[in-house]
Amino acid sequence: MSKPSKQLLAPLTGLLLLSAAATQLTGCVVRAGVAVPAPPPPPVAYVAPAPAAAVDVQVNEAPPPLPVYEQPPCPVEGYIWTPGYWAWAPAGYYWVPGTWVSPPRVGLLWTPGYWGFVGGAYVFHAGYWGPHVGFYGGVNYGFGYGGVGFAGGRWVGSSFAYNQSVTNVNVTVVHNTYNETVVNNVTVNRVSYNGGTGGITAAPTAQERMAAQEQHVQPTFEQHQHVQQAAANPALLARNNGGRPSIAATPHPSAFNAPGAVGAHGTAPPPPHVPPAAYANHNGTGAGHGAAAARATRPGGGVAVNGKPPAPKADAKQHPKAPPKGEEKTAQR
């Protein structure tokens, strides 16, 4: 029997070596395919979604406590109460007075905006209109907004009914009312933000999570004007009013000097109603806020103080006796 030639053995040897190498490589791939399960990711903290039209504002300092004030009576049947809140401007926090507002359409309710501590900063979540009241940080704004939902009224068909136990309504103006006791399940305080040091520890309920997914409507044009005028009013800055604004709530949006506007407890009453022309200064901003707002030019060159007409000028014939020298005249206050 003849022996195989070297020319035939060489290719066979190469094939055997390649097969062995492939077997070893296949074993390595199988061993590398055994994966170690990764640890589960940490739980994600809940952050309430803001409406699409909202632009969140981030601030490093917490907003002041909520001021204490009375609610003006509802001026028109169908209006819904929107509570006041602290907003932010380059000059600092300023108060947006609570006010009665006409809703965009029948069936919508107002979810107030709120400040929440997120990622080391205080973030503002803007309010919105929707078929149900959503999460507003658990902040107790009062007048039906006790931290969860709204107990100040409800829609009955195409009419809005008011709960007289928590809202201020004049039955001669508003006829669709009811009385329902409201049980407050939250701590009554003046804290104006959620989370962070000293903040409210509240998380959204299942119903509030569902409300967050509903279609929302932006604040009305009147509400936007209301906020803009509040931002332009120096008397509403927290650093100027010490957290107790003289205009805490109004009967209508932007009606800061109208009859029925109320101030926070511990402050002077808001200025009397004055025509807008008397309030505009050369800068186009309100010149009559605070103490200056109590003065308005009267015919004849006099000045009204606290809404009262000026005292008549003294006449030498009527008052022959002049005051002693050095005695100062006391101005009417």
Spatial neighbors of 2 by CB under 8 A, at least 6 apart, are none
Instruction: Quote the CA–CA distance of 116 and 139 in Å, as a whole number.
Output: 10
Who's near 197: CB < 8 A, 6+ residues apart?
62
Separation between Cα atoms, residue 75 and residue 243, nearest integer Å: 27
In the chain, what percentage of residues exceed pLDDT 90?
59
Give 182's pLDDT tier (boundaries 50, 70, 90).
confident
Per residue in 76-118, pLDDT tens? 999 999 999 999 999 999 999 999 999 999 999 999 999 999 9
153: enclosing H helix or E strand? strand 153-156
Residue 321, pLDDT above cutoff 90: no
Could you tell me where the DSSP H helices lie in the chain? Answer: 6-32, 206-212, 221-231, 238-241, 276-279
Please give the full DSSP string across 81-106, using - where no structure is assigned.
EE--EEEEETTEEEEE-EEEE--SST
CB-based contact 333:306 (threshold 8 Å):
yes
State both tokens at 89: 């401007």
What secondary structure letter does DSSP report for 236?
G
Contact between 234 and 94 under an 8 Å Cβ cutoff? The reply is no
Could you tell me how far CA 306 lies from the centroid of its own chain? 32
Predicted TM-score (pTM) of this structure: 0.66
pLDDT at 271: 53
Q: What is the 3-state secondary structure (H, E, C) of 256-279?
A: CCCCCCECCCCCCCCCCCCCHHHH
pLDDT, tens digit, 9 for 90 and up, residues 122-157? 999 999 999 999 999 999 999 999 999 999 999 999
